[in-house]
Amino acid sequence: MFTGFTRFTGPRDRADRADRADRADRARPPARSRRTAWLSAQVLVLVLVAEAVMAATTVRTLLAPPAPHAAVTHALEPPLSVSKPFYPATTRFYTDPHNPAASWVRAHPRDRRAAAIRRRIADQPQAAWFTQTNESLVEEQARGLVGAAAAQRRLPVLVAYAIPQRDCEQYSSGGSGDAGVAYRRWIDAFTRGIGDRPALVVLEPDALAHLGCLRKRQRAERFAALAYAARTLRERAPRTRVYYDAGNSGWQPARTMAGRLRHAGIDRYGDGIAVNVSNFNATGDEVRYGLSVLRELRRPRLGVVVDTSRNGAGPTHKHQFCDPPGRRLGRAPTAATGIPGLDAFLWIKQPGQADGCAAGAGVFVPGYAYRLTGRPTG
């Protein structure tokens, strides 16, 4: 190994120098050699100790279980700083005893599928959807739900789903009549029902992803209606967090969705976005998409919630969205995400409810629910 500069010498010089060195070595004791050997031994010991420490550390790292989502967090963390998850990891979401699966189980206790549906679906926290156009009934139902959740110290998840032409007149057509006075009255009633109780509201699935069916004036009305809804909830239901629906990773580009969210007032009134609602995309894809939308919005205080109710097997090859076969329940609802910017995994779609192909949209289908649990049908 090259350690320094050396003067080039001839054969005679090298011979004379070797002879002088030999005589000098014979004339004095080898003190320098003993010191060098002692130092070398010390260095060797230190090297061996260092190698042992490194080896132990490597083994410990390999044997220790990985931190939850550590690799995912590193891969998905956007350049823009984002807030830590808003909800404590110990947050407990509300399980409505009147959810569709629970109601079916009570009505069919002897059905061979009942035990699996009860344990895997009915007993899990899931969102309650508010689709009724009757304002008094909506107010009463919302008040009852948040009251029951508060009594159990659980956080309820509510879905406001009443905006006109909410699904571009496809499987879930309907809504409150018009995006002006009628919808504002509906939101007012919904907000009165929540009042000052804690709640998480997912605001109008499909409303922003589905704009292609609307004329320019209707788009402006929809943006105004969503802004009014979020502002009303913020002002009159102060313990509610509002998550605008933002479609999913296979629908609109993140930049397009961010622009629509701005038009709908998320900068001023929203607390975050919901992605993958009623869809089947893989959780990792949806987390990446949600954080990409936040980067485009450049609002680090906002958070993301992901619907994991039916994405346990991911999407089909052709990304079918209407009751595709072979799907499974996804990750259980939790606020313990471990990912900055990601507030919760939720069951927003109620598992077992049809999308409009296996049965009418919103109808509970026990066979479909049973297949989602991963149980054989034979």
d(CA 40, CA 300): 56
Respond yes or no: is residue 16 known to be catalytic: no
Strands 303-307 and 157-160, by their bridges, are unpaired
Say if residues 263 and 295 touch (Cβ distance below 8 Å).
no
Q: Which of 167, 285, 307, 323 is catalytic?
A: 167
123 included as an active-site residue:
no
**Residue 301: closest CA among 82, 58, 7, 108:** 82
**In 3-state terms, what secondary structure has residue 283?**
helix
Say whether 355 is catalytic: yes
The whole-angstrom separation of Cα 348 and Cα 338 is 20
Which member of 96, 245, 285, 355 is catalytic? 355
Name residue 323's amino acid. Answer: D
Cα gap 253→206, rounded to integer Å: 14
User: What SS3 class is residue 220?
Assistant: helix
Catalytic, out of 206, 285, 323, 343: 206
Amino acid at 34: R
Helices (DSSP H) in 195-215: which residue ranges?
Answer: none
Neighbours of 234 (CB within 10 A): 18
What is the separation of C-alpha 69 from the centre of its chain, rounded to a whole number of angstroms?
A: 11
Residues known to be catalytic: 167, 206, 355
